[in-house]
Structure 1
Amino acid sequence: MNLDRSVDFVNGQSFLLTNPKMPKLIANFAPVDSQLYFDPAKGPDASPIMARIKIKNQNYIREAWLDLAKKELTNQILEQISTCYAVSSSRYLLDMALLAYCQEKPQDSQAPMPLNFRQHRLCRLPNGYWLYVAGDTVLGIPPGIDYVIAPEVKLAHLARDPELSPVAATIELCKRLEASRNILFPVWGFTIVGSLRSVLSGADMTTFPSLGIIGGQNLGKTTVAQRYMLLYEESQKPGSFWGQFDANSTFASIVLQVSDFRDQIVLVDDLAKSGSPAEQRKRQDLLASILRFAANDTGRARINEKKQIEQQICKAGVAFTGEFMLQNPSDITRSVLVPIDCQMKDGRPEERTVAATVFYAFIQWLLPQLDQKLKELQQLLANVQADRNPRLAKNGLLVLWALELFFQFTEEQGAITNTYHQQASAAAEQILNQILSQQALQCERLTNKNPKGNLSWYILYGYSHNLFPVVTDQKGVNIKNCGLLKKDALYIRPSMLLQYFQEHTPHSISTIKEMNKNLRREGVLGDTSEHRSAHARINGKRCLKLSFALLQKSAEAYNI
């Protein structure tokens, strides 16, 4: 007999008892058993959020899952079991009876609390135990716990290889990271940071950073992000990239999608340059809006399809690829901007599988000591001393902290030596410092109205601070992507030098012609009989030949 006296469950049927002498059949099924599931973060004292109910229907025992937050429990059963039916006019009473049955059914008090995971996320149980819901699997789950993952969460699958040894995968990943460490160290560090965002948002951060991979066309920006950041695929579509969105979408649609992701990386891909100034500005404004949304935990409100107010908060690590440098100092300080100056080489598609396999092992290593590592991070952030650009300082520290965790893990796995651990940590710090120094310089350029020097001064400054790549070996050099140092002169393509002036100096120069005119005026180009500025050839490509002696003389003669 059901506790709700208006409905009785008898031998696989449900009866309405409004007239006890003439019970009315209202459904051809009845519950025979149920198991309650709870929110893992709230504990058993909170109300259950899910029930697994066994029902008798046509002499068979069938099973259905009920979302107890939704009132229409009967309809949920009808949707899952096609042989069930119920009288429409009595479904409200049947809903209440089913809810009462589930809630009053005695549960095994000795068994661990059954859990229902409804989000991809880091999760801390009431007893302090950390778990990580990684799509269709839960990392760190203690043995013997009954749990269920929501269908929409199970759509994502970590693209790892369960047959691949974690140690072998870690060794292989370390080799690849080392081979392109100027790019992959910060990228991999941010993958870890973004995957822990829900617990890092409470740290002493000014804002939570995003990561940008910036470079020209066909250099491999998207490929890097896909292989080292987008570690999940759709369960039914192996090889797909879970969390990749097109930058041509509207801000509202991107925010809607990004808000559904938690503790994972999402990629806003391909913020390309445009020949139209208006379109270029539109794309810059879109990116700025995304960065502001991703940086703050305050969120934004929207009216959903049910006319209800819904709070949208970013709990994902947001990455983007783009061809242009940010032009707003505030946006620059919200980001870690990794430049790609040349084509990524020797990469293989299976790198993503290796990275996902290592990530799986790394998270399981981290969970038991996560509280201690978070305390160490808090202390590091509290000790940050930055008179200028505190955001940038903390952004870099956060990525370095994540990389240090990874190097600790790899050493304990036996994949690297302690000597390499120390060398890699020092290299990572140097790489992040250089990246953030360039961002700080960009901020200074954008906020400082008066140039520190003429074009010659900024060429020398850019050379000494590695703001454009320069090589000393002419053989095989790709002069399109770097300069050449030869016999006390700098050989550089006009287009590359113009890009440097536009992105790293306060000088407002829009064309190569204008740039060359100013360099002639400063006396560093010379005026050939043909009036040709790019009068030198390197490997068949015309370049500017800039004497360091003339550059130094011109820079010293400049008086602001």
Structure 2
Amino acid sequence: MSGMGIYRDGKRLCNFEVAVTQIYRWADGPNCGALAFIDLHLRSDAGCYQERVPAECIGKLEFLKRHPDLCLYQRRYRDSLSACLSERLSEYLQRNTGGLAFCQTGLHRLEKGAVFVAGNRVIGGCEVDAIFSQDIARLHLEPARYESGRQAEELLERLQANDPFVTTPVFAFGILTALQSLVLECGIPLASVLYISGRSGLGKTETVKRFFAVYDQDNTGRPALITEAGSTMAGFRENLRAARDLPVVLDDLCLSTGKDSQRKRLQTGAQVIREAANKGAVRTKAGEHGMLPSTEAGVAITAEFDMQTVSDVTRCIIVSLDHPMKGGRTDDRSIAAGALSAFLEWFLPRYEQEAQLLRERYQATTENKRLDRLATGQFCLQWAFERFMRFAVETGATDETCYKETIRFFDRTLKIWNKKQKQILDRIESAIIKESIPCLLWKGIQKKIIPVHQKLKKLEEGYAVIRGQDLFLPPGVAEWFISVQNGYRGINRNRIGRALKLAGVLVTHESDKANTVKPAQGFHRVYHIRLDQLEKAALFETGGNGFENSTSASTFRGF
């Protein structure tokens, strides 16, 4: 092969020949459609080499540094060799369409149909010559080990064996995660995080790994995209950015005996829930603007406690464990991964039809009622599981009768978890102070919840007494009434007295620093409150609202 090389204008530029063998265009991301990589075949007297060169680096000829036997005869020939490469690339582009390079996982709509980038492989695109950016090439979803029907049947049996009240919604959330960008594309404001709670040792993490976090780190079999709660948020955010339509887990938000530590863990959980639910761009490092990719990952959190705010709880689909999980098998995770893969193979050819049906279903559901965040998440979860069960029917894993029974079971399961979630919300609501103590007392008198009389002797029988503008209120009556109001559970009399004094409605004696007085000789101490000042404080707080048809303080002068 003497004389091998590239010639230009009668000059031999180098001792090797080069040919473009494949090109790849970006299928997604900010440079969608632009050249991504170029495959080169290099041949010299010493041997042959294959190089994949980033498109923006093709003119730099840096690949020559990796092969010392490839020689450019003179430095001034660099521009000529670059021009020659550009010409050959142009000729190749005129004859070939090339392959696709992906920098994002999840659902993609290509000219020939929809595909799903499951880390280092494409599902639903048999004819696609694809390569992947380094971030997503490390992720692997195990293919189905059986034909689709048997894989689905096996998965349903595993769900049944592992407490289906827990495993079914967990697996369904994995299906919803895979279809998340379709849901958002349909204009449905999905903002849900799977929140699995329960005391230590019940199997929360193992359940999530088996039926939700089914992607591996490369081909190692180790679960990917799982961050320990004690790790830095930067690592978790990196997973969020890399995992569009993929499952991401924040594991083990555990209880702490220290108040500061527990508060930090609550803050971490709340921060993760907000970032995951908002589906916006996220900045992971100083200096980044966080524009791409977005945080369209499906997030699951395992925790030993419930979140403490209404906004956080309504962003979650909560599954709580109260007994140990049993019945698991070592290959549950492999079966779940294969079932997800087989489902996507079935779903992708139906992408457009399924998207249209989802839009129509959502519009019909919201035509006469508005779905809040919690209801929207449950609507989407129900839809996703129904699509999986329809796949199971069409592949022969089950029949229509079993389909209907399973859907009814899933509906009941969601209602059970929804009821428990609303109990959590009610508990949070009951701890929120919505009105001040003076305002509550005024309302209690207006609505005749607090028993009122005009004779002082009735104070000993548990009545409040009104004489003109003076209200004599026994501390026990005040404590009984206030302690059942939202945010005041466990309140004591001292706190009630301080609140009334701070509001400027108490009448006290100059010689007595106590917040209570004796209305007459022989009586127990009571709160002495000016009705006109109590009314003024209540009206100031509410702006006059909420007291329609109410009685003014002057009306009580008849007592």
Between the aligned residues of both structures, percent identity stands at: 24
1:338 matched to 2:319: yes
Aligned-pair CA distance for 1:214: 0.8
Partner Cα separation in structure 1 for residue 103 and residue 341 of structure 2: 20
Evaluate the alpha carbon distance shift between residue 262 and residue 450 of structure 1 in structure 2; reply closer, same or farther with a 3 A threshold: closer
Partner Cα separation in structure 2 for residue 11 and residue 190 of structure 1: 63
Evaluate the alpha carbon distance shift between residue 235 and residue 172 of structure 1 in structure 2; reply closer, same or farther with a 3 A threshold: same
Evaluate the alpha carbon distance shift between residue 236 and residue 450 of structure 1 in structure 2; reply closer, same or farther with a 3 A threshold: closer
Which of the residues 119, 127, 137 maps onto 2:104? 119
Evaluate the alpha carbon distance shift between residue 436 and residue 57 of structure 1 in structure 2; reply closer, same or farther with a 3 A threshold: farther
Which of the residues 409, 415, 419 maps onto 1:427? 409
Aligned equivalent of 2:150: 168
Aligned equivalent of 1:63: 50
Evaluate the alpha carbon distance shift between residue 215 and residue 100 of structure 1 in structure 2; reply closer, same or farther with a 3 A threshold: same
Give the SS at the match of 2:297.
strand
Aligned equivalent of 1:232: 215
Amino acid in the other structure paired with 1:261: A
Aligned-pair CA distance for 1:207: 4.1
Amino acid in the other structure paired with 1:333: T
Give the SS at the match of 1:424.
helix
Does the CA contact (< 8 Å) of 1:159 and 1:352 recur in 2? no
Aligned equivalent of 2:117: 133
Aligned equivalent of 2:291: 311
1:190 matched to 2:173: yes
Evaluate the alpha carbon distance shift between residue 450 and residue 93 of structure 1 in structure 2; reply closer, same or farther with a 3 A threshold: closer
When structure 1 is superposed on structure 2, of 312-321 and 113-122 the one drifting more is: 113-122
Amino acid in the other structure paired with 1:216: R
Evaluate the alpha carbon distance shift between residue 390 and residue 210 of structure 1 in structure 2; reply closer, same or farther with a 3 A threshold: same
Amino acid in the other structure paired with 1:404: E
Partner Cα separation in structure 2 for residue 75 and residue 99 of structure 1: 13
Partner Cα separation in structure 1 for residue 4 and residue 288 of structure 2: 38
Which of the residues 321, 344, 365 maps onto 2:302? 321
Aligned equivalent of 2:345: 364
Does the CA contact (< 8 Å) of 2:61 and 2:82 recur in 1? no
When structure 1 is superposed on structure 2, of 293-302 and 266-275 the one drifting more is: 293-302
Residues 319-365 of structure 1 deviation map (CA, whole Å, 9 limit, x = unaligned)? 11110001111111111011111111111111111111211211100
Aligned equivalent of 1:383: 364
Amino acid in the other structure paired with 2:191: F
Evaluate the alpha carbon distance shift between residue 112 and residue 249 of structure 1 in structure 2; reply closer, same or farther with a 3 A threshold: same
Partner Cα separation in structure 2 for residue 419 and residue 298 of structure 1: 41
Alignment map for 1:256-335 (pairs within 5 Å): 256-301=238-283, 309-311=289-291, 313-335=294-316
Aligned equivalent of 1:220: 203
Aligned-pair CA distance for 1:266: 0.9
How big is the alpha-carbon RMSD for the aligned residues of Structure 1 and Structure 2? 3.4
Does the CA contact (< 8 Å) of 1:135 and 1:158 recur in 2? yes
When structure 1 is superposed on structure 2, of 196-205 and 330-339 the one drifting more is: 196-205
Number of equivalenced pairs: 435
What TM-score comes out, normalization by structure 2 length? 0.70
Specify every segment of 5 or more residues in structure 2 that has no aligned partner in the other structure, as ranges: 434-485, 492-559
Evaluate the alpha carbon distance shift between residue 437 and residue 374 of structure 1 in structure 2; reply closer, same or farther with a 3 A threshold: farther
Evaluate the alpha carbon distance shift between residue 295 and residue 135 of structure 1 in structure 2; reply closer, same or farther with a 3 A threshold: same
Residues 102-133 of structure 1 deviation map (CA, whole Å, 9 limit, x = unaligned)? 53123474x66522233322111124x01112
Evaluate the alpha carbon distance shift between residue 150 and residue 374 of structure 1 in structure 2; reply closer, same or farther with a 3 A threshold: same
Amino acid in the other structure paired with 2:170: V
Partner Cα separation in structure 2 for residue 92 and residue 182 of structure 1: 67
Aligned-pair CA distance for 1:13: 4.5
Aligned-pair CA distance for 1:225: 0.7
Bigger radius of gyration, 1 or 2? 2
Give the SS at the match of 2:336.
helix
Evaluate the alpha carbon distance shift between residue 280 and residue 90 of structure 1 in structure 2; reply closer, same or farther with a 3 A threshold: farther
Give the SS at the match of 2:357.
helix
Specify every segment of 5 or more residues in structure 1 that has no aligned partner in the other structure, as ranges: 1-9, 452-504, 511-560
Residues 236-284 of structure 1 deviation map (CA, whole Å, 9 limit, x = unaligned)? 42x2011111111122332123211122101111111111111111011
Partner Cα separation in structure 2 for residue 204 and residue 50 of structure 1: 34
Partner Cα separation in structure 2 for residue 291 and residue 12 of structure 1: 62
Aligned-pair CA distance for 1:69: 4.0
Aligned equivalent of 1:97: 83
Does the CA contact (< 8 Å) of 2:193 and 2:317 recur in 1? yes
Evaluate the alpha carbon distance shift between residue 434 and residue 87 of structure 1 in structure 2; reply closer, same or farther with a 3 A threshold: farther
Does the CA contact (< 8 Å) of 2:25 and 2:32 recur in 1? no
Partner Cα separation in structure 1 for residue 77 and residue 260 of structure 2: 57
Amino acid in the other structure paired with 1:209: S
1:33 matched to 2:20: yes
When structure 1 is superposed on structure 2, of 320-329 and 351-360 the one drifting more is: 351-360
Does the CA contact (< 8 Å) of 1:50 and 1:66 recur in 2? yes
Aligned-pair CA distance for 1:55: 1.7
